[in-house]
Amino acid sequence: MFESYRVRRATINDLPHIVNFIIQEAVESEGRAADLSKLENGISTALNNEAIAIYWMLVDQDSQPVGCTSVVKEWSDWNAGYYWWIQSLFVVPEHRGKGLLNVMMDAVAVDAKAASSLEIRLYVHRNNARAIRAYHKAEFQPSDYQIMSKKL
């Protein structure tokens, strides 16, 4: 099953696919429309500068993109290293339920270990039960921290 999929680093040529996936992710996870021009600008900026974010593509046996994920890094002065935060993650619905989240997270983990990352973290909307179940299956555990925010 997994042999017919692979994960690779994204390139600027993947921009249209990533934008499309993140638009779908915004609707599914938060029920909102994403701003197309901001997405294109934000994703293309990151694809051209891995210090901002790193993207991976999940492709099928025909090398067609069927998912993507991205990471941003957070420096820890306490631990003198980076935490890698999953910023976005999407798998096309017809490819879900096959363990492909694990395939993507394994690829991210290989790169994170090679970069001496401390840990991979993510946040998920508390009402997104499907995503929470998938993250549990991918061995993510609840954190001791609660995410808080302040609107600007």
Helix pair 15-30, 36-47: axis angle to 10 deg: 130
| pTM of the predicted structure, to 2 decimals | 0.91
Beta strands 119-122 and 54-59, pairing class: unpaired
At position 103, the amino acid (one-letter code) is: V
Beta strands 119-122 and 81-91, pairing class: parallel
Residue 47 lies in a domain: yes
Distance CA 3, CA 11 (A): 22
Number of domains comprising the chain: 1
pLDDT in 10s for each residue of the chain, 152 residues: 567 999 999 999 999 999 999 999 999 888 888 889 999 999 999 999 999 999 999 999 999 999 999 999 999 999 999 999 999 999 999 999 899 999 999 999 999 999 999 999 999 888 888 889 999 999 999 988 888 889 99
Residue 77 lies in a domain: yes
- Contacts with 34 (C-beta within 8 Å, 6 or more apart), sequence order: 22, 23, 26
Residue 99: its H or E element: none
Residue 150 lies in a domain: no
Residue 148 lies in a domain: no
What is the domain-level CATH number for residue 58? 3.40.630.30
Domain hosting residue 34, numbered range: 2-137
Residue 78 lies in a domain: yes
